[in-house]
Structure 1
Amino acid sequence: MRELHHTILADNEEKTALRQLIFTLKASGQCYFLRNEILQAFSKYCHQIQKPTYFYYSSAIGKLLHRTHEIILEEESTWFVVRPKIASQEVWRLTSEFTQFELMSTQAFLDVSDRLVNAYKPNILEIDLSPFYKASPSISDPRNIGQGLAFLNHYLCHQLENNPQCWFEGLYLALQELQYDGMRLLLNDRISSGIQLAKQVHQAIKFLHQRHPDEPYAKFRFDLQELGLEPGWGNTAHRILETLELLEHLIDSPQPAILEAFMSRVPAIFRVVLVSIHGWVAQERVMGRDETLGQVVYVLEQARSLENKLREDIKLAGLDLLNIQPHVIILTRLIPKCEGTLCNLRLEKVNGTENAWILRVPFRQFNPEITDNWISKFDIWPYLESFALDAETELLAQFQGKPNLIIGNYSDGNLVAFLLSRLLQVTQCNIAHSLEKPKYLFSNLHWQDLEEQYHFSAQFTADLISMNAADFIITSSYQEIVGTPDSMGQYESYKCFTMPNLYHVVDGIDLFSPKFNLVPPGVNESIFFSYRQAKDRDSNLSKQVYELIFHHEDAEILGYLENPSKRPIFAVAPITSIKNLAGLAECFAKSPALQEHCNLILLTSKLHTSETTNPEEAGEIQKLHDLINQYGLHNKIRWLGLRLQNREVGEAYRVIADCRGIYVHFARFEALGRSILEAMISGLPTFATKFGGALEIIENNTDGFYVNPTDLEGTAHKIVTFLEKCDAYPEYWEEVSEWMSQRIHHKYNWHSHTSKLLSLAKIFSFWNFVVPENNEARDRYMEALFHLLYKPRSEKILEKHMER
C-alpha cells in the first residue's frame, strides 16, 4: 500500500483527483462512507471530469479506492480502512495537507470510530484474543482458510515425522482413553506403551491374514483380546485388517490421507447434542417461526443424518456386538403455551430415526408471562445460563452418561454449547450460518440506539465468547468466514470493531485458525429432487400444487394470472427486509420486458399485516401490497401467504420447473440460502444474490446467474437475456437445469456433510488431547467475558422482562 500512496501523492493528477474526491465527500455532510458509496462518488467524479475508463480501475487512486472499505472524515484528517487482500486489514490516515499517509493502529481507528458517533471514552476495555492463537498452528495462505481438517492432518503428520516417539505415544494414550460406559474400546491393559502397540498391531495383522476376509469378529474376538485389542477395530477380519494396516502405515510413514482415514474409523463418538434454542423445534404443524424455519429444518435433517451415519459406523466397527447404539438429542426449549404444537412435549422422537430425539427443557419462570411463551431470538439472552444448568441434568439423565460432541446452532445455541462444554468437558462445535452483526449495518457502532429492540450488546458478546471457545467451527461457504475481495465475511466482521462506551475488540478472532472448516449442508432428497424424476412424484399432489399456485382462490392468496402460460419467476422466503421480496417485486414492476416474458409467484407464510406483531415484517408486507397496487400487478402476480408442508414446497419447485420457470433469490445478503439448494436440485435455473454464499453454490464460469439486489435494472436485463436465449434455443433451459441439479446432488448432500463433521470432531478431540495448548487459559478468559460483560447485559434485559 505504501507504494500506491507514494504514487498518488507524487503525481499531480492523482493527488488532485484524491483531493477533489474528498472535498466532494465532505460536501455531502456525511462523515462515514462504505465501499459502494466511495466507488459511486469516484465513478461520478471520473464521469464529470471526463477521465478515461482506465483511470477509474487502473490508476493508483482507483486501485486504492477499490480496496478501501470505509472512509471516515475528520476535520484534520481522512481515515482509510483498506483490505489489501482477503482476511487482511490496514488503517491509514491522510493528513489534511495531503502530504502523508500514516499507517495507524487498530486502537486509533476504534477511537476515531467512537468519535464519529460522539461516544469517545478514554481507557475503554480492550478485548484482544490474539495471545491465545500465537502458539497455535496457523494457515498461511488465505485461499486455504476454511480447510482446517486438511491443514491439521498435514500438521500432525509432520509432527509424527519430526518427533515420532513423542507423538506416537500421544496417539497410544488417546486410543487407550476410549471407552463406552466403562467398557474399554480398541486397547486393553495388555498394551502399555506406543512401542508395544506397534508390535501387537504387527502380530494382529499376521493373525488376520490367516482368517477368511468375511469371518465375523465374534469368532476371533478373544484371540485379539489376548493381543491387547478390544472391540472397535471392525466387524469382519477384512475390516479389522484394513484398520490395523492404516495404523501400521501411519506409524511407518505418516501421511495426511492415512491419518484421516484411520481417525474416521476410530469409535469415539456415540452421543451427540444439537443445541437449537429459540425456534419452535417441532415436526408437526410447525417447524420454526419465519426467523428460524431454516435452522429447524437444518437441525432435524442433520440429526437424522448423524444417527444414520453413527449407526453405520458402529456396525462397521463391530460394536453392535456390545449392543452399543447411537443416541442423538436435539436440545431446545419447552414452550408451555405452544399454540397447538407439540413444543410443550418434553421428549419427542425424530421422525425417520431409531434413537434421535427432541429434548425440550423449559426456561425457569422468572416471569411466566414471558417464559411460558415463545421468545424472539433478540430477547432470549437472560434465560440461557439457567437453561444450560438445567439442560446438563436432563442430558445426563437422558443419555445415562456424557455426550461426546456438542453442536451449537446460531448465537444463543452456541453460547449454551459453550456453557455445556465447560460443564461436561466435551468437544464443542459451532454453527452460525447467519450472524446478525454483518446483516445490520452499523449495528455495533449504534448499538445503544438499537439496544431496546435488538440487544446487540449481549448477542455480539455471546458470539465472541462462543466462536473463540469452540473447538471447531462449521461454515457453509468460504465467504461466510472471510467474504470476497469486495466484501467482508461474517466472521471477519468480528475481527475488529467497537461497541462505543462498552468495549473495543482489537482482535476478536483468528481467521487463519484451523478451527474454521467449510462443511456445506445437504438437501433432503426424499422431498427435494429433480422434476425429471417422474417415478418419484405423486401425480395427485402435482395437480393440487399446480392448481394452488396458478388458479386457486383463497383469502390468503393475492392476485390472478391473466396469462398463466408465461414463464413463472418463483421466490420462496420469509418476509424480512434482508430477504428483500419487495425488492424483487419492484424489479418486476419496473421492467416491461420481464412482465412480457413472465409472471411473478411469491410463496411466503403471511399475506396481511394483521398476521404479524413484528414491525419490520409488517413494514415489508405493506411495502409489497403498495408496489402491487402502485404498478397494477394484480393480473401478473400470485402471492401465496400460506405455510405449506415440506412435501408441498418440494412439489412447488418441480411444478414451476414443469412450466420452464426460474427461481430468483433476491436477498440483500445470504450466508447460504437453503431455498437456493432446494430450487437448484429441483431443476430450476436459479438467479441468486451476489452478496454471500450463493457465489459458491452456483459457481458458474460466468456471473450470469448472480444478481445485485441494489441494481434492479441490471437484474431485469440479466434475467431477460437468459429467457431470450431460452426462447431462441429451448435446449439451453434444459442444460442449465441439469447442471444446477447435478451440482447440488453431488456437492450438497447430508452423507458428505456428516462424514466430515464426525472426522472433524475426532481429529480436534485428538488434537486437544495431545496438545492442550492455551485452551484452558482461553476458556477462562471466555468465562471472564461471560461473567463481566455478558451477564450484566442479559440481566438488564431480564429487568425489562420482569416489568411486563
Structure 2
Amino acid sequence: MSELIQAVLDSNERTDLRQFASELRKRDQRYLLRNDILTAFSDYCNTYDRSEDFRQQSHLSKLIYYVQEIILEQESLCLIIRPKIANEQAYWVFEDLTIEPMTPQDLLDLRDRFVNRHHPQEGDVLEIDFEPFYDYSPAIRDSKNIGKGVDYLNRFMSSKLFQDPTQWLEALYKFLSLHRHNGTQLLINGRIQSQQQLSSQIKRAINFVSRYDTNEPYNKFRFELQELGFEPGWGNTAGRVRETLDMLDSLIDSPDHQALETFISRIPMIFRVVLLSPHGWFGQEGVLGRPDTGGQVVYVLDQVRSIEQQLQEEISLAGLDVQSAYPKVIVLTRLLPNCEDTLCNQRLEKIHATHNAWILRVPFREFNPKYTQNWISRFEIWPYLETFAIDAERELLAEFQGKPDLIIGNYSDGNLVSFLLARRLKVTQCIIAHALEKSKYLFSNLYWQDLEEQYHFSIQFTADLIAMNSANFVVSSTYQEIVGTKESVGQYESYHRFTMPELYHVVNGIDLFSPKFNVVPPGVNETVYFPYHRSEDRVPGDRDRLDKLLFTDNDPAAIFGTLDDPNKRPLFSMARLDRIKNLTGLAECFGKSEALQEQCNLILIAGKLRTEDSTDREEISEIEKLYHIIDQYNLQGKIRWLGVRLPKTDSGEVYRVIADRQGIFVQPALFEAFGLTILEAMISGLPTFGTRFGGPLEIIQDKHNGFYINPTHHEDMAEVILDFLSKCEHKPDYWKEISQRGIDRVYSTYTWKIHATKLLSLSKIYGFWNYTSQENREDMLRYIEMLFHLLYKPMAKSLLEKHMQA
C-alpha cells in the first residue's frame, strides 16, 4: 500500500491529495469512517470538477477506496488503510506531504488522544498481545481460507504424520487408547501395546473381517475382533468395520488430510455435550420475544435436536448399540426464581422431540435477591458467572455421571463460562459468538467510559478476548463474521487491534489466521418452517386463526392498528424491538414512501405495545419511537403492530399466511450477524429483503433469490422494494420465481443436518489436535488466566458492589 501512496506523491495528484486534506479540515468531523471518506471524496470531485476517469481510475481514488478511517490532528492526518482482508496499515501524512508509517502503539495512542484520554505523564497503559502464544499452531497464509480452519489443520497434521511418523503415530495410538464409554474400553484394548503392534494387528483384522458379508452385524464377530485387540467402535457391520480399519491402515502407510478427517470423524469420542446460554429466559414456552432471548433460544434448541440426532446416528454406525450407548445433551442456563409465567424456575426440563436432551437450570448465588431472583440483562450479568460456573460444574457432573466430552458456548456470557468449565474439566471448548456487541455499537471501545454505566463494555470485551483465545475452535455462521468484506471489517477482526482508553491497549487480540476459525452456518427447523404451498402439512384452523390475527382481529391488549384495506400486499417483519433490529427504521421508510403505502400494508410482530410492560431500556425507547413515527407519518389504517409472543409453530405458519397473500419479508437490521429470520422467511416461500450489513450478504444472492437493502438509506430501501413490486405487476410469475429460488437456496445449504454433521466432525478433529498440542498451549492458557484474575474479576467485583447497593 505504501507504493500506492508513493504513486500519488510522485504524480500531479499530489496537489489533489493536499487539497482533499484541506477540504477535510473544513468539515466538522475529525474522525471519518469509510462511508464519510467516500462521501467527502465525492464532494471534493464535484467541487473541483474532476473527471469521471479521475474519480474511478486515478491513484488517489484507488487509495481512497482502501482507506478505512481518517483521523485529523492539527498539523497532520492519519490514514488507516485496509489493503486487503485481515490486514491493517496506518500512516502519518504531514502538511508537507511527507509520509511515515505508524506502529500499532502510535495508532492506539492517537485514538486515545482523540477522546482526550491519553496521559503519557502517568505512564504506559497495559498492552495485551496474544501473538507470541500462537506459535504452537500452524497459520493460514491466504485470507480467503480463513474460516476453513479444519481443512488447513488436517493438512498440517497429515504432513506431520508423513514427516515425523514415529512421534505422530505414537500420539495417534495413545489417543485411540484413551476412549471409553461408561467405564468400558472402546477401539483398542491391552492386547495392542504399541503403535507398531497396532499397525500389524490392523492388517490381521482387515483380513479377518473380509471373510464376512458386508452387511453382517458386528455382534456376530465382535469377540474374535477383541482377541485381535479391537473393542467396539469400529462399525456396526463387517463392511463398516473394514472401511474404518482400511482408513487407519492407509493413514499409517501414506498420510492424507482427507483420510485423516474422515477417520477421526468416525471415532466415537463424543457422547455428552453441554451447550451454554446462561443469562436467562431460556425455555420452550413463553420466552420468545423476551429481552435478549428470542433468536438464541430458537437457535440453541434446534441445534440441540440436530446434535442429539446426529450423535445417535454416529453411535449406531460405530456399532455401540452393543454397549447400550446413547448420547445426552444438556443446555445449561440460569434458574430464574421470579420466572413470571414461564418454566424457567424448574431445575430440569426435557427438550421436546428429543430422547435424552435437557435444559438444566442453575441459580445465581443470592448476592442481592433484588437482582439474582429476577432476569438480569446481558449487560449486567458479569459478576455472577464465575460462581455460576463453579455451581454448574457440580450439577453437570451429577447429571452426566461424569465429565462432558464437548462444551459449546453461546454469546459472550456463555463463551466465558465455557472457558471456565473447559479449563477445570479439561475438555474440548467451542464458542459461537452469534453477535459481538463491539461491532454493533459504533466506537463502543473508544467511548467505553461514557457507555460504561449502561453497557459495561470494559468487562464484556475482556470476556470476549478471554473466550476467543481460550477456545479450541470457533464456529461462525459466515465468513464475514470473522473478517468482513473488502469494504468492511469483520466482527472478530475488530478485536485484533483496539484501545480501551485508560484501561488497556490490545496490540494483537486474536490471530485471524489461526486454524481455529470455521464457518458452519446454522439450519432452519424444517418441521416448523416449510414452503407455503405444502398445504398437506398445514393445519387449516391455524391458518385461519393467524390470518385473522395478522389482518382483522381487534384486540387492543395485543394489537395496535386497524387496516383500511386488509387486501393490500403485506410488507412483513418480525423481530424484537431494539435499536439494532431497526424495525422503527422500516416503519420510517414506509412512512416516507407514499408509493409503498399505496401498494402495501406494514405488518410488524415486535415485542410489547406499552412501555410500562417492559424493563429493557432499549425496548422502551423503540416503543416510544415507533408510536412517534406512526403519528408523524399518519400511518393509522396502514400498519398493524402485534405485541405478541408466538409459539414456535405459529411463527412458522405466520410466514406462510403472509406468503398466501403474496407478501414480502423485510429484515432491516442495522447489523445482522447471520439472520435466522431470513432463512425462516425464505424457506416459507417469502421473497426476502435483507440488510446488506452482515450475514444476509452470504445467504441471499442479490436479485436472484432475494434482495439486499441498505437500512440507513430509507429512499433507496423503498426503491428496491418498489422495483420488485413493479416487476411483479408486469410479470405475473415473478413473485413465484423469487419465492422458489429462496426455498431452493435454504434446502441446498442451510439445514441442521449439515450443521450438526460438520460441528461434530470439528469437535473430534480439534479434540485430537488439542490432545497432541496441549503442552504447547499451556502458556497461552496461563496468560488468559492472568487476564481473567487481574482484569476481569476486579471489574466484575466492582459491578457486583453496585448491584449490592441497588
TM normalised by structure 2 equals 0.98
SS of corresponding position for 1:331: strand
Tell me how far 1:773 sits from its aligned partner. Answer: 5.7
> Are the equivalent residues in 1 in contact too, given 2:666–2:690 (CA < 8 A)?
yes
1:704 and 1:170 map into 2 onto residues whose CA distance is 49
**Aligned partner (choices 784, 787, 791) of residue 793 of structure 2:** 791
Q: Give the 5 Å matches for 1:243-392.
A: 243-287=244-288, 289-392=290-393
> Which residue number in structure 2 is paired with residue 626 of structure 1?
628
1:483 and 1:773 map into 2 onto residues whose CA distance is 33
> Are the equivalent residues in 2 in contact too, given 1:280–1:288 (CA < 8 A)?
no
Q: Give the 5 Å matches for 1:529-678.
A: 529-555=530-556, 556-678=558-680
Deviation sequence 1:143-176 (CA, Å, 0-9, x none) = 1110011111222222222222322222111101
> Are the equivalent residues in 1 in contact too, given 2:232–2:320 (CA < 8 A)?
yes
Q: Which amino acid aligns with 1:542?
A: R
Range that drifts further, 588-597 or 572-581: 588-597
For the structure 1 residues 799 and 41, does the alpha-carbon distance in structure 2 shift closer, same or farther, using more than 3 Å as the test? same
SS of corresponding position for 2:387: helix
Tell me how far 1:792 sits from its aligned partner. Answer: 0.8
> Which residue number in structure 2 is paired with residue 236 of structure 1?
237
Deviation sequence 1:426-473 (CA, Å, 0-9, x none) = 110000010001110111011111111110000000000010000000
Tell me how far 1:195 sits from its aligned partner. Answer: 1.8
2:256 and 2:267 map into 1 onto residues whose CA distance is 17
Are 1:15 and 2:14 an aligned pair? yes
> Which residue number in structure 1 is paired with residue 395 of structure 2?
394
Are 1:28 and 2:30 an aligned pair? no
**Aligned partner (choices 104, 107, 110) of residue 105 of structure 2:** 107
1:264 and 1:349 map into 2 onto residues whose CA distance is 28
SS of corresponding position for 1:134: helix
Tell me how far 1:597 sits from its aligned partner. Answer: 2.2
Are 1:117 and 2:124 an aligned pair? no
1:138 and 1:701 map into 2 onto residues whose CA distance is 37
Tell me how far 1:260 sits from its aligned partner. Answer: 1.7
Range that drifts further, 670-679 or 167-176: 167-176
2:705 and 2:444 map into 1 onto residues whose CA distance is 31
SS of corresponding position for 2:24: helix
Q: Give the 5 Å matches for 1:440-451.
A: 440-451=441-452
Deviation sequence 1:385-421 (CA, Å, 0-9, x none) = 1111111111111111011000001011000000001
1:5 and 1:349 map into 2 onto residues whose CA distance is 62
Deviation sequence 1:750-794 (CA, Å, 0-9, x none) = 111111111111101111212336311000000000000001110
1:109 and 1:438 map into 2 onto residues whose CA distance is 19
Tell me how far 1:637 sits from its aligned partner. Answer: 1.4
1:282 and 1:768 map into 2 onto residues whose CA distance is 33
Q: Give the 5 Å matches for 1:203-242.
A: 203-242=204-243
Q: Which amino acid aligns with 2:8?
A: I
Tell me how far 1:618 sits from its aligned partner. Answer: 1.7
Tell me how far 1:58 sits from its aligned partner. Answer: 2.3
> Are the equivalent residues in 1 in contact too, given 2:285–2:647 (CA < 8 A)?
no
SS of corresponding position for 2:112: helix
> Are the equivalent residues in 2 in contact too, given 1:117–1:445 (CA < 8 A)?
yes
1:538 and 1:49 map into 2 onto residues whose CA distance is 65
Q: Which amino acid aligns with 1:460?
A: F
Deviation sequence 1:561-593 (CA, Å, 0-9, x none) = 222222211111111110111111111111122
**CA RMSD across the alignment:** 1.4
> Are the equivalent residues in 2 in contact too, given 1:558–1:634 (CA < 8 A)?
no
Range that drifts further, 780-789 or 638-647: 638-647
> Are the equivalent residues in 1 in contact too, given 2:483–2:491 (CA < 8 A)?
yes
1:528 and 1:701 map into 2 onto residues whose CA distance is 23
Q: Which runs of 5+ in 2 are unaligned?
A: none
Q: Which amino acid aligns with 2:9?
A: L
> Which residue number in structure 2 is paired with residue 433 of structure 1?
434
> Which residue number in structure 2 is paired with residue 482 of structure 1?
483
1:27 and 1:608 map into 2 onto residues whose CA distance is 45
Tell me how far 1:262 sits from its aligned partner. Answer: 1.2
> Are the equivalent residues in 2 in contact too, given 1:83–1:89 (CA < 8 A)?
yes
Q: Which amino acid aligns with 2:212?
A: R
Q: Which amino acid aligns with 1:450?
A: L
Q: How many residues align?
A: 802
1:584 and 1:202 map into 2 onto residues whose CA distance is 66
SS of corresponding position for 1:8: helix
For the structure 1 residues 165 and 432, does the alpha-carbon distance in structure 2 shift closer, same or farther, using more than 3 Å as the test? same
Q: Which amino acid aligns with 1:111?
A: D
Tell me how far 1:135 sits from its aligned partner. Answer: 4.1
2:105 and 2:703 map into 1 onto residues whose CA distance is 41
Range that drifts further, 673-682 or 610-619: 610-619
> Are the equivalent residues in 2 in contact too, given 1:279–1:296 (CA < 8 A)?
no
Tell me how far 1:290 sits from its aligned partner. Answer: 3.1
1:57 and 1:751 map into 2 onto residues whose CA distance is 46
Q: Which runs of 5+ in 1 are unaligned?
A: none
1:584 and 1:549 map into 2 onto residues whose CA distance is 18
> Are the equivalent residues in 2 in contact too, given 1:541–1:648 (CA < 8 A)?
yes
1:381 and 1:241 map into 2 onto residues whose CA distance is 51
Tell me how far 1:56 sits from its aligned partner. Answer: 2.4
Range that drifts further, 198-207 or 469-478: 198-207
Q: Which amino acid aligns with 2:115?
A: V
Percent of residue pairs bearing the same amino acid type: 57
Tell me how far 1:358 sits from its aligned partner. Answer: 0.7
